[in-house]
């Protein structure tokens, strides 16, 4: 994977007032399906990286404990507002950098990264942190747009990359090199519909000698 330019993640604080209006409904319904398909068991500890305004929050079952982290305080303020308005005692948010998590190793059963791997300056580092704080055999779930392998579409998204970077995300990340560089043990990779631009990856955290049999 090539060198990844650092970019101003706090840019998302500027997006906060209109983020839900632009992306909220689409992202929420996508994440409702992804999270529903996981059948998260009672008592599971869940970490969501780059949780933003909490578009995923309505989808989490109340029987699990969820921590959402993000670097943009204005995005988190909106997430916190939703937590309060809905009385979601199973959810909390913290300001934290996904590249330097302040949690001990093996703290979570699930680590989620929804629409965030193309936003952070170093997705490989973020995935290393995800693996560290996820317990052996836990699940790492990524939802993201990856550059198409179809030559024309791929060329178009790569051409758009300098523009979208200014807006806060990159479009030139390919799925194969991402999986290779992060060494994610993918159990399931799918799209929610044939034409969807987004890929869902469900990985099993294979570390400390843990291997699924």
Ligand X SMILES: C[S@@+](CC[C@H](N)C(=O)[O-])C[C@H]1O[C@@H](n2cnc3c(N)ncnc32)[C@H](O)[C@@H]1O
Under the binding rule (CB under 6 A), the answer on residue 114 touching ligand X is yes
Specify the residue, 91 or 206, whose C-beta has the smaller distance to ligand X: 91
> Around Cβ 194, how many Cβ atoms within 10 Å?
5
Under the binding rule (CB under 6 A), the answer on residue 115 touching ligand X is yes
Segment lying near ligand X (by CB under 6 A), choices 46-54, 128-136, 159-167, 195-203: 46-54
Under the binding rule (CB under 6 A), the answer on residue 55 touching ligand X is yes
Specify the residue, 52 or 203, whose C-beta has the smaller distance to ligand X: 52
Distance of CA 126 to CAs 50, 62, 99, 154, Å?
A: 10, 27, 5, 24
Would you say how long the chain is, in residues? 213
Judged on CB neighbours under 10 Å (0-12, 13-18, 19+), 37 is middle
> Around Cβ 46, how many Cβ atoms within 10 Å?
25
Segment lying near ligand X (by CB under 6 A), choices 38-46, 68-76, 144-152, 172-180: 68-76
Distance of CA 130 to CAs 24, 64, 149, Å?
A: 24, 18, 26
Under the binding rule (CB under 6 A), the answer on residue 128 touching ligand X is no
Of the residues 37, 65, 97, 158, which one makes contact with ligand X according to CB under 6 A: 97
Rule CB under 6 A: which of 172-201 touch ligand X?
Answer: none
Q: Tokens at residue 34, please?
A: 């992804």
Question: Which chain residues interact with ligand X by CB under 6 A?
Answer: 9, 12, 27, 49-52, 55, 69-72, 75, 97-99, 114-116, 119-120
């Amino acid at each position: 994977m090539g060198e990844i330019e650092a970019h101003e993640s706090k840019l998302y604080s500027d997006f906060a007032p209109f983020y839900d209006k632009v992306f909220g409904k689409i992202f929420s319904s996508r994440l409702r399906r992804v999270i529903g398909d996981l059948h998260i068991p009672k008592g599971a500890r869940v970490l969501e990286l780059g949780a933003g305004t909490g578009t995923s929050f309505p989808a989490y079952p109340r029987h699990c404990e969820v921590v959402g982290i993000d670097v943009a305080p204005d995005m988190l303020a909106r997430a916190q507002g939703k937590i309060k308005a809905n009385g979601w005692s199973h959810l909390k948010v913290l300001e934290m950098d996904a590249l330097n998590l302040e949690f001990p190793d093996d703290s979570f059963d699930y680590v989620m990264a929804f629409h965030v791997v193309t936003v952070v300056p170093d997705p490989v580092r973020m995935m290393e942190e995800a693996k560290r704080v996820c317990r052996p055999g836990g699940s790492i779930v990524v939802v993201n747009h990856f550059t198409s392998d179809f030559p024309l579409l791929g060329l178009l998204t790569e051409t758009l990359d300098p523009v979208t970077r200014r807006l806060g995300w990159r479009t030139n990340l390919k799925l194969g090199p991402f999986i290779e560089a992060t060494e994610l043990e993918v159990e399931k990779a799918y799209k929610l519909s044939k034409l969807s631009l987004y890929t869902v990856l469900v990985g099993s955290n294979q570390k400390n000698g843990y291997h699924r049999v």
